Amino acid sequence: MGKVKMLAKELVIAVGTAIFLSFLLQTFVFEARSIPTCSMEPTIQINQKILVNKFIYRFKSPQRGDIIVFTPPENKDNDLEYIKRVIGLPGDKIEIKDGFLYLNDKLVIEEYVKEKANYEFGPVKVPENCLFVLGDNRNESYDSHAWSEWLTLNLVKGKAFFTYWPIPRIGFFGTEVSSADIGY
- 159 assigned to active site: no
Three-state DSSP at 176 gives coil
Query: Taking the mean position of all CA atoms in its chain, how far away is CA 90?
Result: 17
- Stretch (H or E) spanning 38: none
Within 13 Å and on the Cβ side, how many CA atoms surround 144?
A: 28
- Out of 5, 22, 34, 39, pick the active-site residue: 39
Of 181, 178, 160, 177, nearest to 169 by C-alpha is: 160
In angstroms, rounded to a whole number, what is the distance separating the alpha carbons of residues 115 and 79? 30
**Exposure b/e, 31-40, CB count within 10 A at least 16 = b:** bebebeebbb
3, 34, 61, 84: which is the annotated catalytic residue?
Answer: 84
| C-alpha to C-alpha distance for 130 and 132, rounded to whole angstroms | 7
**Catalytic residue at 22?**
no
Active-site residue list:
39, 84
